[in-house]
Amino acid sequence: MWTWSEICNFFKPIPIKPVTVQPLLPQPVPNTSLTLPQCGIDLIKQVEGFRPSAYLDTRGIPTIGYGHTKGIRIGDTCTSAQAEAWLKFDVTWAWEAVCRNVKVPLTSYQGGALLSFVFNLGEPQFKDSGVLRELNLGNYGLVPSEIGKWVWETLPDKTRRINQGLVNRRKLEADLWKNNDWRVS
């Protein structure tokens, strides 16, 4: 049998340490204040080249203008004004991907280099790239060499090879990043 004092001791409140709640740290703000960099659009136009008639790209996708693919069929044609309008529409997702994923400040030239890079590569690959990792660590000087690593293409038989067109494009993107101008090459 328990005594009354034993029962009271058994149900004695356990002292609880006060919990200190840390305030939420401010999250890095994406580069939403940057406007779509014209230097990146100009670089894309240079490397994609204007093609008024639809053609199959290296992956077999019908393409026209400055790399536009949505709803294109072989036999389609376009004007340069139409191609420019498509390009400005097409790069919007790439610019949004840059703004969403980059957590450090960018110059418009750096943004332009990344715009071209992401437009060509795609957001999933960009998110997993050393380019983004080094940039978000603040290692701006390593970004050009990281960009230069993305020159491989996968062929239909799943083998990989260096694509000279990608080598050339990555050099121009790195030049824009470093020199504020891709035409220095």
* pTM of the shown model: 0.77
pLDDT at 156: 80
pLDDT at 42: 95
- What residues does each domain of the chain span? 36-180
Query: Does residue 31 or residue 176 have the better pLDDT?
Result: 176
Alpha-carbon span 182 to 174, nearest angstrom: 8
- Just list the catalytic residues: 48, 57
The DSSP secondary structure of 127-174, one letter per residue, reads HTSHHHHHHHTT-GGGHHHHHTT--EEE-TTS-EEE-HHHHHHHHHHH
Average pLDDT over residues 89-113: 95
Provide the CATH topology of domain 36-180: Lysozyme (1.10.530)
Three-state DSSP at 166 gives helix
pLDDT at 59: 78
Structure-token match 């840390």, residue found: 22
- For the stretch 35-63, pLDDT in tens is 889 999 999 999 999 999 999 987 789 99
What's the pLDDT band for 24 if we cut at 50, 70, 90? very low
* 137 backbone dihedrals φ, ψ, rounded to 5°: -85, -5
